[in-house]
Chain A
Amino acid sequence: MDYSFSNVALIALLPFFAFVINAFIVKKFTKLAVTISCLAIFSSFLLACRIFKDVVFDVYSSEFYVHKYFNWIDISSATIPFKINMGIYIDNMTAIMLLMVTGVATLIHVFSTYYMHDDARFGRFFVYMSLFTSAMLGLVLSDNLLSVFIFWELMGFCSYSLIGFYYEKEGAGNASMKAFMTTRVGDVFFLVGILAIWNIVGSVSFVDIYAALSQGKFAHDIMIFGLGIPVATFAAFSIFMGTIGKSAQFPLQVWLPDAMFGPTPCSALIHAATMVAAGVYLSLRMFPLMEAGHLLTFIAYIGAITAFGAATIALVQTDIKAVLAYSTISQLGYMVLGVGVGAYNASFMHLITHAVFKACLFLAAGSVIHSLHDHHTHEHVQEMPRMGGLRKKLPFTFIAMMCCTLAISGIPFFSGFVSKDRILGDALLAALHHKVMWVPAVLGFAAAFLTAFYMFRMMFLTFFGEPRDKELYEHMHEEHLQLNSNVPLLILSIFTLGVFYSGSLTGQGFIKVFKGNYEWFGTLVEKPHVANFQDHKRQLWTMDSSVDREEFKHSRYDEKHGKTEEEAHHVHQVHLIGALMSIVIAFSGVFLSFLMYGKKSLNPAFWTGLFSGWYRGLLNKYYFDTFYIKVVIQKMLLPLNNFLAFIDMGIYDRYAIDGWENVNRWFYTVAKWFDNLVVDTVAVDGTGASVRLFNVVLRTLQSGKIQFYFIMIILVLSSYIWAIGSN
């Protein structure tokens, strides 16, 4: 296929059109608006499938990319060039990401028609969802950091709107503001990073940045506060701060748990599958820059701290969505850890697998919440202590959630094992090479144990045992197979199987199911080789252009074209050790959870009593929110606010604004005097008076007496003649 405008841009534009249309018709034709949204995202899905088929099934080259651009802004003068190009950059990662986003979004749209149909603002939800999906797809297709930033902010806005969707609820408004403002901290850094790159490279396009990296343009230092910092480090750090904000990494993770105020499908799409993953996606795109900036150790530490810390907080949460929220933060930490240890491929694979199973987990949680309706308070129940034994009434949700829990816990044959295990294996490998990497690796393994524990704790509390709130349980309806409620869950849960991502079931090549191209994911997604971008192929983006596919070498992992897969896959012994370790860890986590919540032979209350200090710390989320409110906001931002208010009110208003008023008042007096005296008296009245004077003179001349006229004629003529004669 060709990557013309109509084929590619429509992926992002269709949901956008749906947004524009729906924004106008949603009040009157809610049903139609919902249909339009769903059809638009489904059409995008089909187009994404075409691209995926072309990239993965036809080209199959790890170096495949298409970069097309058009000129957006050109205000260059003769001396200063200033040109901004927009365009698309499609490589294997983009193609896989497109398929994931559109696929997950389609299923979530379908599920939302079930989940939201009782809601008063049923249509508006879809308006936001369409805008969000189009922004996310635009971000994935973007070829430069500027358009990434634009779509990034659009997604931030949609996230804000959807977190505050139930604005009647206490706290929803605050939560949306918190999310918006917290991510803003990272976004400011991101913008600074974009400007730094613009300053160095003269362009923010990915391919230009890669080319500049290979030419060594990032080699010099800049002075900040008297310290010489390599520009690569500065730019990489700034951009990574964007990732920290958007992907809810330590220390800006506080917004994501509060984001659960939004409707559950929006949590599934935005705060689990796509938007938060966009931060990691950005880090992966900028991976060569991070590498050049020697930032990887820092990234690995951030990721590992996030993965471990969030997992510990998840242990004590009782709200089913809060558990999933902390689990999301923890899994995002894994992805960032993967970036940090150089597991590019595994990190991206974890992004995809996590998107699938976490979206499914959220939808399943939504299904549970939707079916639990408290008839006293007329609210849906999210608290796990009131659940229990739900598997009999919600069999399909139970199946889907079980699959996803197995996947996230890292049980073999499921996708989470395949991807997480590679990250951990690479972390172990990195730890063997560099001593400083031991901490992230150990934290990663510890978080894997905790993940298995808290996920199964959630399963046991929700689906197993006896119902703890009998009345609630009695009022529940039996679940039936329904196209828009549990079918999306089951479809997503199919894709939690590991075989879709790796042909070797364990992910490390122990057992191979397919001969031949069994490692499509591993072979296609590779770190960009920056040297290849020295003379990159640029194409103007027009309506009918095609890419010459023969230019691309087939993947070097392809048996027919290069090394054998065994050689290429590079199964290190450490990976085997890591895999075995994580299997043991996962099962021990599940087992401990079973002992505590399934068999109840260990009493959780005993342990919380034993570690009561820790327990309180975990319940209070390590006092991060308290710290931010008490120290950052009240002690630092509030004085700053007061100071700025003083400048504004006390100085600017008082002297500049009021002073300007006085100056104007003086001018007004002068102008009034001038107006009265000069304009009115002299000019206006003077004109009248002079006209009156001439009137008196001329009126006497025009007497009507013929003889007087005649005398005048004679006088004039004789004076004329006299004048001529005397000359």
Chain B
Amino acid sequence: MISLPSYLFISFLLFVAGMFVMIARKNIVAILLGIELILNSAALNFVAYTKFVNNNLDGHIMSLFIIVIAAAEAAVGLAIVIRFYQLRESVHIDDATQLQS
């Protein structure tokens, strides 16, 4: 029987992988992928907890929301990346330091 810790462990692995991608990779598209991984780990957590603790549909609905938000976020993020590429001819994260000032 697959137990709750197994789900949480998978979710943790996904989260750490996403975080690692966000920190380590310099490509903005890759960072967006890392964000997706983190969001999915959160969604997996919701589903796991609602299955083993609540026994209702709250977690499922929440994970559906997360999927929708992730899609929207990816759309917006990729749009920004494309626009950024048009401006700088680069998708390197160290070129995007306008937040400094």
Interface on A for B, CB 8 Å cutoff? 702-707, 710-711, 714
Contact = CB atoms under 8 A, between A and B. Distances in A.
B23 A706 contact: no
A706 B93 contact: yes
Given A702-B100, A704-B100, A706-B93, 16 more contacts: A703-B97, A704-B97, A704-B98, A705-B93, A705-B94, A705-B97, A706-B31, A706-B99, A707-B22, A707-B23, A707-B31, A707-B93, A710-B22, A710-B23, A711-B23, A714-B19
B96 to A, nearest CB: 7
Nearest to B19: A714
Interface in B57-101: 93-94, 96-101
Contacts of A707: 22-23, 31, 93
Nearest to B22: A710
Contact of B99 (A704, A710, A714): A704
A714 B31 CA distance: 16
A524 B97 CA distance: 113
A543 B42 CA distance: 95
Nearest to B101: A704
10 contacts: A702-B100, A703-B97, A705-B93, A706-B31, A706-B99, A707-B22, A707-B23, A707-B31, A710-B22, A714-B19
Q: Which 3 A-B pairs have the closest CB atoms?
A: A704-B100, A704-B97, A704-B99
A706 B96 contact: yes
A706 B94 CA distance: 8
Interface residues of B, number: 12
A711 B93 CA distance: 14
Nearest to A703: B100
A705 B96 CA distance: 7
Interface in B18-68: 19, 22-23, 31
Contacts of B99: 704, 706
Contacts of B31: 706-707
A188 B17 CA distance: 107
A706 B77 CA distance: 14
Contacts of A703: 97, 100
Contacts of B98: 704
A713 to B, nearest CB: 11
Nearest to B94: A705
Contacts of A711: 23
A148 B15 CA distance: 104
B41 to A, nearest CB: 15
Nearest to B34: A710
Contacts of A704: 97-101
Nearest to B96: A706
Contacts of B19: 714
Nearest to B97: A704
A703 B23 CA distance: 15
Contacts of A705: 93-94, 97
A702 B96 CA distance: 13
A454 to B, nearest CB: 111
A705 B95 CA distance: 9
A710 B96 CA distance: 14
Contacts of B100: 702-704
B66 to A, nearest CB: 20
A715 B51 CA distance: 31
A345 B67 CA distance: 125
A703 B94 CA distance: 10
A702 B94 CA distance: 14
B58 to A, nearest CB: 25
A346 B22 CA distance: 125
A10 B22 CA distance: 101
A703 B93 CA distance: 13
A705 B100 CA distance: 8
A710 B19 CA distance: 9
A50 B4 CA distance: 119
A186 to B, nearest CB: 90
A706 B19 CA distance: 13
Contacts of A714: 19, 23
A555 B96 CA distance: 119
Contacts of A702: 100
A704 B19 CA distance: 19
A705 B19 CA distance: 16
B61 to A, nearest CB: 27
A710 B23 CA distance: 7
A706 B30 CA distance: 14
A612 B101 CA distance: 116
Contacts of B93: 705-707
B24 to A, nearest CB: 9
Nearest to A704: B100
B28 to A, nearest CB: 9
